[in-house]
Structure 1
Amino acid sequence: MIFSINQLLSPDELTEIKQVLAQAEFVDGKLTAGWHAKLVKNNQQLKVGISEKELKTKISAALDQNALFQLAIRPKSIHSLLFSRYSEGMSYDTHVDNALMSSNGLCRSDVSFTLFLNSPQEYTGGELTIEGVQEEQSYKLDAGSVILYPSTTLHRVNPVTQGTRLVVVGWVQSVIRDGGDRELLFDLETARRAIFAKSGKTPEFDLISKSIANLLRKWAEV
């Protein structure tokens, strides 16, 4: 499933991150692209260093503390965070993310995400477009908000025609490999919490709790 989280980062956190990025060195984004993605990737990425590691820690902490992210994704690991900059004329044409990525060990990409760092009013173009079976969906969120989507999809970043687009992209390996199974668990958890909020610990609540626990035992890869 595709969903967004508004205000994952606070205004103060955004300001701090953007101040660091304004003084940081960026390098050619092709350095982290696969052999075929290099043909369509035209952006810049934050150079590896102390500042990059500190910013990654801040983003990972924000995701770890977000209840919606934890329930919908059920992350096993967050890996390969990249701070990306698109200046005028830059884009990233249609591609699929690598299934396996190396970041402190080999990880599987189940869910991809884009965290927007600056306001959509600061640049034109630069939409994240995700291709579906019959239609495309484009996203350009407010600063501090994040869009999460299956890593299995074809997607692209449309050309920036004016201004600068700043984002963080990353990938998650979930303890639940199948996206449909993750969505089913999320729906059950949402229903369970609604029952509890309305009526407390009822027999229906207990049955759904049992189902969630047993599906996790059946599907989880830990």
Structure 2
Amino acid sequence: MIIIDKILSAEDVAHYRAELTTLPWENGDKTAMGMAASVKNNNQADAKDPQVRQLANNLLAHLGNNPKIVSAALPHKIFPPCFNRYQQSEEYGYHVDAAIMRLPDSSDVIRSDVSMTVFLSEPEEYEGGELVIATEFGEQVIKLPAGYAVVYPSSSLHKVTAVTKGTRLAAITWMQSMVADSNLRNTLYQLDQSIQELVKNQNASRGELDRLHNVYHNLIRQFTVL
């Protein structure tokens, strides 16, 4: 589980929020599969609407250009982002994301390795609405500033608690990683982040950095499945 700050600027967030007020919404349970449908109580922007698609593609460009997302997820394919809205008494009970997802208007599918939530509402604008992720260390409760995101394994049980006041807006997406194993992916992320920190250190040896880069890219080469 990795927090990624300021994926979107305040201006970007304001733009998405303004656009979403004018777009059509539908019951979220229409987009859930299997057991998840019975515990999903929210609204989702109509993914078939051309303006919603344009907004999703715009956000997709932001995600694909973010170095920390690339480092954390090593994405091979990204599902077009979906926009959801939770208002009073709406929630999404514990569920696990579908392992295989069909890309819209396509015969292609992706394996969901990594899930991502991008927050579009400020925490003080609503009560409740926390993203809760079950991990081996217990429940992790996430409620981030607008423009921030969290990525986590799609295999995790997770839920959104009931909103008791205000409105919670967010975007969600799923990624098929080039490295399917979540533990290995996390190790590669930690290695890459260490390399990036060393690059900033003027006293770091170029030879040592080259060797670390060599190890990092050879590990990706060894374990990547396309």
Instruction: Provide the TM-score with structure 1 as the length reference.
Output: 0.95
Q: Partners of 2:6 and 2:200 in 1: how far apart?
A: 25
Q: How does 1:130-169 map to 2 (within 5 A)?
A: 130-169=133-172
Name the amino acid aligned to 1:195. L
Residue 43 of structure 2 aligns with which residue? Answer: 44
Q: 2:24–2:49: 8 Å Cα contact kept in structure 1?
A: no
SS at match of 2:98: coil
Residue 59 of structure 2 aligns with which residue? Answer: 59
Cα deviation, 1:35-83, whole Å, max 9, x if unaligned, reads 2111100000001211111111111111111111111211111104211
Q: Runs of 5+ in structure 2 lacking a partner?
A: none
Q: Which moved more, 1:179-188 or 1:114-123?
A: 179-188
Q: Partners of 1:156 and 1:110 in 2: how far apart?
A: 17
SS at match of 1:23: coil
Q: Partners of 2:15 and 2:26 in 1: how far apart?
A: 21
Q: CA deviation at 1:134?
A: 4.5
Q: CA deviation at 1:192?
A: 2.6
Q: Partners of 2:198 and 2:88 in 1: how far apart?
A: 50
Q: 1:80–1:101: 8 Å Cα contact kept in structure 2?
A: no
Q: Partners of 2:5 and 2:218 in 1: how far apart?
A: 31
How many residue pairs are counted as aligned between the two chains?
A: 221
Residue 202 of structure 1 aligns with which residue? Answer: 206
SS at match of 2:210: helix
Q: CA deviation at 1:200?
A: 5.1
SS at match of 2:83: strand
RMSD of the TM alignment (CA)?
A: 1.4
Residue 181 of structure 2 aligns with which residue? Answer: 178
Cα deviation, 1:88-116, whole Å, max 9, x if unaligned, reads 01000000000000013110001101111
Residue 14 of structure 1 aligns with which residue? Answer: 13
Residue 68 of structure 1 aligns with which residue? Answer: 68
Q: CA deviation at 1:221?
A: 1.4
Cα deviation, 1:161-199, whole Å, max 9, x if unaligned, reads 011111111101111111111122122222333333333
Q: 2:88–2:165: 8 Å Cα contact kept in structure 1?
A: yes
Instruction: Provide the TM-score with structure 2 as the length reference.
Output: 0.93
Q: 2:127–2:163: 8 Å Cα contact kept in structure 1?
A: yes
Q: Partners of 1:118 and 1:151 in 2: how far apart?
A: 23
Q: Runs of 5+ in structure 1 lacking a partner?
A: none
Q: Partners of 1:187 and 1:35 in 2: how far apart?
A: 35
Q: Partners of 1:159 and 1:193 in 2: how far apart?
A: 39
Name the amino acid aligned to 1:9. L
Q: CA deviation at 1:201?
A: 5.1
Q: Partners of 1:29 and 1:209 in 2: how far apart?
A: 44
Q: Partners of 1:108 and 1:72 in 2: how far apart?
A: 16
Residue 222 of structure 2 aligns with which residue? Answer: 218
Name the amino acid aligned to 2:3. S
- Indicate whether 1:95 and 2:98 are aligned: no
